[in-house]
Structure 1
Amino acid sequence: MNKSGIYKITNTINNKFYIGSSVNIRARITNHRSQLNRGVHDNNHLQRAWDKYGEKSFKVELIKECNDEELLYEEQKYLDKIGVGENPNCYNIAKSAFAPTLGRELSNETKRKIGNANKGKMHTEETKAILSKKHTGKTLSKEHRHKMSISRTGRVCTKETRNKISDALTGIKRTDGTRQKLRESHIGIEISQEQRKKMAEGNYKKVVCITTGEVFESLKDAAKVVGVNYTNITNCCRGRQKHAGRDKETGELFEWKYLDEYA
């Protein structure tokens, strides 16, 4: 059934059904079976029925073959006809073929199952290349960026994660265009007096280079000697990155701490 079109999954015990569409029905059904057998399918109605009656109680059929341009429009006709949300014999939850997750709220249990199912999965290099190409040049709206910012507020990275980020960024030089974008992104951001005070106090705290044992009167003094931006040393002291600067002769990376926190 390697075709493009509308398919139907029917429970042969009670004749309840699920309608879907795909440009590759064989692959889509394989994905359905995989998720259902692992108990992580995003359709709770279909998942519960599958758990109760078993895989052998379901059959799949192609109900209309159509090209990919017509696919979602044809699926929408079927969804409208069967009355999703009102028809007790229909397993479908989403009323729109164009936005199948619109308005859908996943339970904590479902989120947990999906998370466990995907834990440890790694993208292949080929998949990474496809994803990279797909997102290259894509510009996020201000609203989208704001939502991402809110979703990450309060999130604390583990030390291991911070070290990985630090290692990945070590040696990367920002282009003039990137620097300009960063400057523009901070225009209009208001910093409270309390935050300014903390920043000022931090700039004049004594720091120690753990690698060499040398103590500096302030972040800026250390940055001047080492030849890096003082914010990089700040990030090291706060655990946000692992290294800042390196020995010009040996190439050894420098680690930093605030002196009053260094034991």
Structure 2
Amino acid sequence: MEAVYRIINSKNGRYYIGSSLDYKKRKRDHFNLLKRGNHHNKPMQEDYNIYGTDAFKFEVLKLFNGIDRNALFDIEQEFISKSNEPMRYNLYDNAFGMSYRGKDNPMFGKTHSEEIRQKLSEINSGENNPWYGNSDHMKMMRSRITKRFDGRKHTEETKLKMSVAHMGREKTESERRKLRLNNGNNVGIFIDGLFYRSMAEASRQLGISRTTITSRVNNPRFKNYYRCSEGVETNSKPEISAG
């Protein structure tokens, strides 16, 4: 059952606002991660480490039965907008997350040094790359792409129609939201109950290609793979297409 919920710290009054298409399961996910010490919300995890399980209470702010995802986001946003910002654990100002606020952003006022850039490059190079050593696969994919578009070009008429169709057109909020949710580099995901900040991080730690992870996240048969956007899991299909 869908709900907008709040996790409140009874010791200092701070709280976390979220929403879920299955709030009972989401509650279990939150507290399991807190107990393991690897919850994606660092401020709440730090307070949990200080005050313990008994200090944190889960309460349903509004319950639904059959509400769609976008409407759930909108209602969660109402609660976030009306809440007291200094008391919120939420790292984002909006219901669907995607960007840290000011000093809460770990890169606030910083840039990566050349040394860090080199290390990041090394992390994704060689054997750490999911396609490393799999030249046959890459040849096959290049061949398919080449065959698909070989000799094909848009006519001038088609180009003009495409240009006119997109001229001055703005994406709807629903379209922008779906694009944000489908961006695996910016959206955290849960796999087997563990949180990963991005597809890339999950790929490196699990040794599974991002293509495979994306496919499973968008496949309803893999219930243990789902996107998470600051408290809202985004695993409902087929509403969100493959990213």
TM-score range (shorter-chain normalised) is: 0.3 to 0.5
TM-score normalised by the chain length of structure 2: 0.46
TM-score normalised by the chain length of structure 1: 0.43
Q: Specify the structure having the higher radius of gyration (Cα).
A: 1
The structure showing larger relative contact order (alpha-carbon pairs under 8 Å, at least 6 residues apart) is 2
